[in-house]
Structure 1
Amino acid sequence: MWRAIASNALTILVVGLFLMGGLILWGQTQYKAEGPLETAICLQVRSGSNMTRVSQELEEQGAIRSATIFRMAADYTDRAQQLKAGSFLVREGASMEQIIDEITSSGASTCGSEIEYRIGVTRAQTRVRELNPATLDFVEIASFDPSEDEVPEAYTEKRNEADTRYRVSLAEGATSWQVVQALKAFDALTGEVTEIPAEGMLAPDSYDVVAGQDRTDILQAMQDKQQLRINAVWESRQDGLPLQSPEEMLILASIIEKETGVPEERGQVASVFVNRLKQGMRLQTDPTVIYGVTKGQGTLGRGLRRSELNRPTPWNTYQIDGLPPTPIANPGLASLEAAVAPDDTDFVFFVADGTGGHAFAETLQEHNRNVAKWREIEAEQNSGN
């Protein structure tokens, strides 16, 4: 009898272990399998929340099939206590494993609201945006100039939300003075800036920041990135360039940046200035004259006067030989690359062509014809105003 009982108990134990193993295997499969979500969602995890609430919300929104398995998996993988507050993008078909990783890893929000502070050449702009999970596109909620416009209610609301993300975007061609003035106007940042960074040494790019971050830290990140770019681009330079140092490359790149906004033209514009430097011709570029007038503190807001073209300044390339003493703006990576790898041309002249680009020429006679065409276009444009 005891032998039969022991045999039955053993059988039950084996069956139980088999069933338990099968259950664990099934749970692991569910944990790693593609989820049921058909359209991406933005999951908001509030401060003080826990894995139970999150799992229930995910199940209600159709992102997971079982809140229980989700919680058990979080406990089993020791991730339950690593839950982060924020707004997280849960993509369509995301597995439980992927969702748990998303909400317990860095803590950086991947969807929801974003306040972007854009520093442009002529103005700064604050944009409040919301990510549409279905399209992964940002939808603009509000936009304003912080130095001129009334602050919209949408901005104030998002500034008060703990999971709002912040970004500073610096456009190519802005001056260091403009960058500092713009950062001072961004109320999400802190700290005083006592010194304007050297012209040209701030890398145009997009920077993730946090509310309360010190302005000098952001400026330092911009400088560090620009120095890395300068070092890398200088090492890749063509042979035979009339540039003696990375500093001269940076100056030339800043002139290229201010002369054209057409990406396809950068190599041609660079070739004009390189050819002029090689031939001992003056660069005669208007942006350098403008910098001599404004010192980079704002925009001129009008055309150059003949007296300004004739007035000597350290930056007036109609009056000085070679390159000016400093950059005239902060150039982007593409302009740096153009400075050390110009197109192979014989161009030494260019003028606007009325389309936003330029007409290039090898001879003065050809250039004069291009100038005459541009004057006609200007006259037609002015007569239409």
Structure 2
Amino acid sequence: MYIKKILWAIALIGLAVAAYFAYYVYSAMFEPNTAFNNEKAYIYIPTNATYDEVREQLVPLLKDIDKFDALAERKQYTSNVRAGRYAIKKGMSNNDIINSIRINNIPITVVFNNQESLEKLAGRVSSQIETDSTSLIKAMKDEAFLTQNGFSNYTALGMYLPNSYQFEWNTSAEQFRERMLMEYQRFWTDARITKAKNLNMSQNDVMTLASIVYEESKKKEEQPRVAGVYVNRLKLGMPLQADPTLKFAAYQLPEYQNTVIKRVLNKHKEIESPYNTYKYAGLPPGLIAMPDISAIEAVLNYEKHNYLYFAADAKRVGYHKFAKTLSQHNANAREYQRYLSSQGIYN
């Protein structure tokens, strides 16, 4: 009788322990364990991160980090951390959280507009994904990559079309570069390549001219007409005489660093540079900025007309007056110069 009581006591204790263990396992796995009020919280796990680094981000987000640790160890997550951007939803259990940060790497939308240089592009992109600007610049300027894909340091900027793109946060510099090459190649359809050939231009030539068109006019409806002027000049062998190329050439010189040229002067036309399209006919060696897609399309679908000149319109900011003769153009240019002087803009 006494032995039976002992056995019953042991059995009851065993059941109690088993029940507690079952409850502990259940609570560790399936009870809500989030400590934030927003609908979602995000963690960013760097490449080659350790579990301790992940844990550091989770501590302020969870009610009970110890139970999470126990389950993470049991599910072998502690030795299988994966880089990326992950969402933790309010009310998630530890089991749900581990599953989420193991497989649900959430893409982000990387956006860049008309950056003036590869350096500025790298800075813009590195603020949105894990890789740093130094790594991006190195990848973007890699000579072997550029040569293999038909680019040079002068034309490399043209490979990056301003838009918004989906990327995983932990995208490397090389992965970013390869994706942009793919987008560039996708943009250059057979139809667009044919139009470039009809202009007697390479794809790089089109991008270079588009960069000038874009810097001349941000008005999409006017860009095909501006492009038409430059196409007409190229066909006649006339210098492009594009003011934005003079500014670009000037900004490469020490004396123009950290300055803004608001008015192109005769002294700028004397700058010795292959980008000085007043001195040298034809296209400059490469882009002066990242053109908008509208400017690229404007070159490929330029307006056919007889204009050879244009000057900024003093009465319609952002627009231009077009002319077929030099005398008409000079009159338009004088009108705009008077406007600049009236505004106190002399350089």
Normalising by structure 2, report the TM-score: 0.58
Offset at residue 44 of structure 1 (A): 3.7
Letter in 2 for 1:337: E
**Structure 2 match to 1:338:** 298
The alpha-carbon distance between structure 1 residues 187 and 332, as it changes in their structure 2 partners (threshold 3 A), is closer
Offset at residue 372 of structure 1 (A): 1.9
Write the distance in 2 (CA, Å) between the matches of 1:382 and 1:46.
52
Map 1:246-325 to 2 at 5 A: 246-295=203-252, 300-303=259-262, 304-325=264-285
Instruction: Answer yes or no: is the 8 Å Cα contact 1:200–1:330 preserved in 2.
Output: yes
**Structure 1 match to 2:7:** none
Instruction: Answer yes or no: is the 8 Å Cα contact 1:277–1:283 preserved in 2.
Output: yes
Write the distance in 2 (CA, Å) between the matches of 1:179 and 1:190.
13
Could you say what secondary structure the match of 2:343 adopts? helix
Write the distance in 2 (CA, Å) between the matches of 1:173 and 1:350.
25
Deviation string, structure 1 residues 47-94 (Cα, Å, up to 9, x no partner) = 9xxxxxxxxxxxxxxxxxxxxxxxxxxxxxxxxxxxx95679xxxxxx
The alpha-carbon distance between structure 1 residues 210 and 280, as it changes in their structure 2 partners (threshold 3 A), is same
Letter in 2 for 1:206: S
Task: Indicate whether 1:327 and 2:272 are aligned.
Answer: no
Could you say what secondary structure the match of 2:111 adopts? strand
Could you say what secondary structure the match of 2:166 adopts? strand
Instruction: Answer yes or no: is the 8 Å Cα contact 1:177–1:296 preserved in 2.
Output: no
Offset at residue 300 of structure 1 (A): 4.9
**Structure 1 match to 2:343:** 381
Give the unaligned 5+ runs of structure 1: 1-42, 48-83, 89-102, 110-164
Write the distance in 2 (CA, Å) between the matches of 1:87 and 1:349.
60
Instruction: Answer yes or no: is the 8 Å Cα contact 2:196–2:203 preserved in 1.
Output: no
Write the distance in 2 (CA, Å) between the matches of 1:369 and 1:285.
18
Map 1:1-385 to 2 at 5 A: 44=39, 166-172=108-114, 174-184=116-126, 186=127, 188-191=129-132, 192-193=135-136, 194-197=138-141, 198-232=156-190, 234-237=192-195, 240-241=198-199, 243-295=200-252, 300-303=259-262, 304-354=264-314, 355-382=317-344
Which one has a larger percent strand, Structure 1 or Structure 2?
Answer: 1
**Structure 2 match to 1:25:** none
Write the distance in 2 (CA, Å) between the matches of 1:204 and 1:289.
24
Write the distance in 1 (CA, Å) between the matches of 2:253 and 2:203.
21
Offset at residue 228 of structure 1 (A): 2.4
**Structure 2 match to 1:74:** none
The alpha-carbon distance between structure 1 residues 323 and 87, as it changes in their structure 2 partners (threshold 3 A), is farther
Write the distance in 1 (CA, Å) between the matches of 2:325 and 2:113.
34
Deviation string, structure 1 residues 330-373 (Cα, Å, up to 9, x no partner) = 22322121112110111111111131111111111111121122
Give the unaligned 5+ runs of structure 2: 1-37, 43-85, 91-99, 142-155
Instruction: Answer yes or no: is the 8 Å Cα contact 1:44–1:87 preserved in 2.
Output: yes
Write the distance in 2 (CA, Å) between the matches of 1:216 and 1:239.
31
Which one has a larger percent helix, Structure 1 or Structure 2?
Answer: 2
Write the distance in 1 (CA, Å) between the matches of 2:197 and 2:160.
27
Instruction: Answer yes or no: is the 8 Å Cα contact 1:176–1:202 preserved in 2.
Output: no
Letter in 1 for 2:212: I
Instruction: Answer yes or no: is the 8 Å Cα contact 1:173–1:332 preserved in 2.
Output: no
Deviation string, structure 1 residues 104-154 (Cα, Å, up to 9, x no partner) = xx9687xxxxxxxxxxxxxxxxxxxxxxxxxxxxxxxxxxxxxxxxxxxxx
**1 or 2 for the larger relative contact order (CA 8 Å, sep ≥6)?**
2
RMSD: 3.3
Write the distance in 1 (CA, Å) between the matches of 2:272 and 2:41.
61
Instruction: Answer yes or no: is the 8 Å Cα contact 1:283–1:317 preserved in 2.
Output: yes
Could you say what secondary structure the match of 1:264 adopts? coil
Write the distance in 2 (CA, Å) between the matches of 1:180 and 1:209.
15
Offset at residue 238 of structure 1 (A): 7.2
Write the distance in 2 (CA, Å) between the matches of 1:273 and 1:299.
29
Offset at residue 314 of structure 1 (A): 1.3
Instruction: Answer yes or no: is the 8 Å Cα contact 1:233–1:340 preserved in 2.
Output: no
What percent of counterpart residues are identical? Answer: 26
Report which stretch shifted further, 277-286 or 292-301. Answer: 292-301
The alpha-carbon distance between structure 1 residues 299 and 166, as it changes in their structure 2 partners (threshold 3 A), is farther
Q: How many residues matched?
A: 232
Normalising by structure 1, report the TM-score: 0.52
